[in-house]
Structure 1
């Protein structure tokens, strides 16, 4: 259905509808998160949301270098 709506919009406006683009990209992101969960067998199920998600967690600080004599 989205392909038909997008094809008609492209035919008459020569522009891809932003809302349809965001929806399709969000669905693709969610599908890839679920595939990663299924194939990598992680314990954390991906959230059902279509946005990019929150910021990545900060990396832990590097351990201090050993003192040199």
Structure 2
């Protein structure tokens, strides 16, 4: 009775299922860690403000426009 109930008869049973779930969780955790370390290709929070600073430094926008747009981005 116990052998077939707990999966010790060579079938999948409870321990087979737990073994599969263990590997699924391990692989999912590895994916999360890799994405966190790689930044997952998403732009950083202040990337728009950084672009605005670069445009101001190149002279594409004046100080008044820089101030107006940076207030909009921050607020």
TM range (shorter): 0.3 to 0.5
Task: Tell me the TM-score normalized by structure 1.
Answer: 0.38
Q: Which has the larger radius of gyration?
A: 2
Task: Tell me the TM-score normalized by structure 2.
Answer: 0.36
Structure having the larger proportion of residues in helix: 2
- Greater length-normalized contact order (CA 8 Å, ≥ 6 residues apart): 1
